[in-house]
Amino acid sequence: MDTYSRHCILELWECNRELLNDIKFVEKMMTDAALQAGAEVREVTFHQFAPQGVSGVVIVSESHLAIHTFPEHGYASIDVFTCGKRIDPKKAASIIAQKLQANRIYEMNVERGLGEMHIVKDFNS
C-alpha cells in the first residue's frame, strides 16, 4: 500500500456566523464536500457546543475531513486529509470555504507519507 497522502489545512475567517453555529448545515456541508470531491463516506459525527460552536469529522475511506467552528469570531479551522492521489483535498476545502462564505482564507498544503513532510503550493497529480 502506498503511503503518499495529501493534507489541506485551512484557516477560514470572516465566515457567516450563523452558518458556523448551525450543526445540521455544517454536517451536510462537510459530507457533501467529501462526496463532491469523490470520497467514499464511512462515518459522520458532529457535536454542538454550548453556548456556540460545532466540531465534527467525516471519516472517508481515503482518510477524513474535520472542522471546528468559532462563530463568535467568524472563524473555522478545517483539515482535509486524503490518502493517495485519487481524491484532491483542495477540491473539498474549496467547497467548504465557499459554503461558509469565508472572506479571508489561509491555506497550507502538505504532502505526507514520503518520509519528510513537504509543504507545497499545489499537490502532484
Query: Catalytic residue numbers?
Result: 63, 68, 83
End-to-end CA distance of the chain: 18
Please choose, from the candidates 88, 75, 79, 74, the residue with its C-alpha nearest in 3D space to the C-alpha of residue 58. 79
For 87-100, give one letter per residue: b (16+ CB within 10 A) or e. bbbbbbbbbbbebb
Nine-digit cell at 99? 459554503
Cβ atoms of residues 60 and 69 within 8 Å = no
User: Quick one: how far is CA 99 from the chain centroid?
Assistant: 12
